Amino acid sequence: MMEKDKSVSNKKEKKFSFNASELKKNVLNQGSAYSWPMGLWFIIFFIVPLVIIFVYSFMKKGLYGGVEAEFSLQAYKQMFNPKYGILVLRTLKISLISTLITILIALPCGYAMARSKYQTLFLFLIIIPFWTNSLIRIFAWMSILNNDGIINQLLMKLHITKDYVKLLYNQNAVILVSVYMYIPYAILPIFTAIDRFDFSLLEAARDLGATKPQAMMKVLIPGIKSGIISALTFTFIPIFGAYTVPLLVGGKDSYMLGNVIVDQVQKTRNWPLAAAFSMVITIISIVGILWISFANNKDSKLKKSVAKEEVYLSPQIEKPAGSLRER
């Protein structure tokens, strides 16, 4: 009887293991089936255009536009022209200032949202701009900043200024509108990071004698570092390659890298140079993505190590209580 029971149990175990392996295979097959469309989309709309841009940047400019199938480094040599160097520095300056202002505004906004009872309402208000065309929002700012706009009219009615203040068609206008356009991209990752943060750590820091600003700077900011890095990347990269904002609200001193790329394609028809500048933006984007992934991996490893330490220490903390009960 014992032998029969053992054989029955062995058969059941084999059947169970067989079913488990089959289920695992089915899940893997389904996963690969679902990943194929995504992989195909990624290849067609990201890898292929990137390869074309890379190849075009090493080709010779065609006589009537386009490219000639001849290897050349002329585009990269033209990039080191002093006038393009000034333009890259200007683009970098506008992008850095806009990103810094955006992050400084996004941090308190994200904190307020994470601590609020009305998170859904605030998230809805943050997402609303995504439903509106970017051109409509830029033209709205143009009507506000124009000589006949609300701000100038208000300043003149209050007798603060006697003449119109030039608020439009300069670098300040580009920075202001860029901050407005990309602030949702900064608030959302910062809000997500703060929402997952353990606020008992702030209380512990306060109990140890730290002031509220010290606790914020030394505990909260390092704790949400991955969210800040994501916000920096999601803000800096699109501003660095912006075309519409500097074109519509900027002046001659606000010409940026995105404008040069479009002009080289449409007006000058120097496709290799446009491709070379596009490669600069692409490299910056890839570096930003790698930075985000590195920060997220580091954050997850730190959380895992903390969790392991808590699991290891919890039995040791419980032992004295148990020993006292035994006594």
Which pLDDT belongs to residue 293? 81
Q: Which is more confident, 236 or 29? A: 236
Residues of the chain with pLDDT > 90, as a percent, come to: 39
> Which amino acid belongs to residue 21?
S
Q: Which residues, including other chains, have CB under 8 Å from residue 211's CB and lie 6 or more apart?
A: none
Which pLDDT belongs to residue 312? 56
Q: Which of 179-188, 304-313, 318-327 has the highest mean pLDDT?
A: 179-188
Q: Which residues, including other chains, have CB under 8 Å from residue 144's CB and lie 6 or more apart?
A: 150, 151
- Of the given ranges (27-36, 203-212, 226-235, 245-254), which has the lowest mean pLDDT? 27-36
Is the overall model pTM greater than 0.85, yes or no? no
pLDDT band at 18; cut points 50, 70, 90: very low
- Asked if 57 contacts 71 with a C-beta cutoff of 8 angstroms, the reply is no
Q: Is 168 helix (H, G, I), strand (E, B) or coil?
A: coil
| Residue range 106-139, pLDDT digits in tens | 999 999 999 998 999 999 998 888 888 899 999 9
Which pLDDT belongs to residue 324? 41
The token pair at 288 is: 């930003």
Domains annotated for the chain, with CATH where assigned, are 88-307 (1.10.3720.10)
Closest to 126 measured CA to CA, from 177, 196, 183, 189 = 183
> In whole angstroms, what is the distance from residue 245 CA to residue 157 CA?
29
Phi and psi torsions of 255, nearest 5° = -65, 125
- Evaluate if residue 14 carries a pLDDT over 50: no
Q: Which is more confident, 45 or 242? A: 242
> In whole angstroms, what is the distance from residue 249 CA to residue 169 CA?
5
Of all helices (H) and strands (E), which one includes residue 31?
helix 2-42
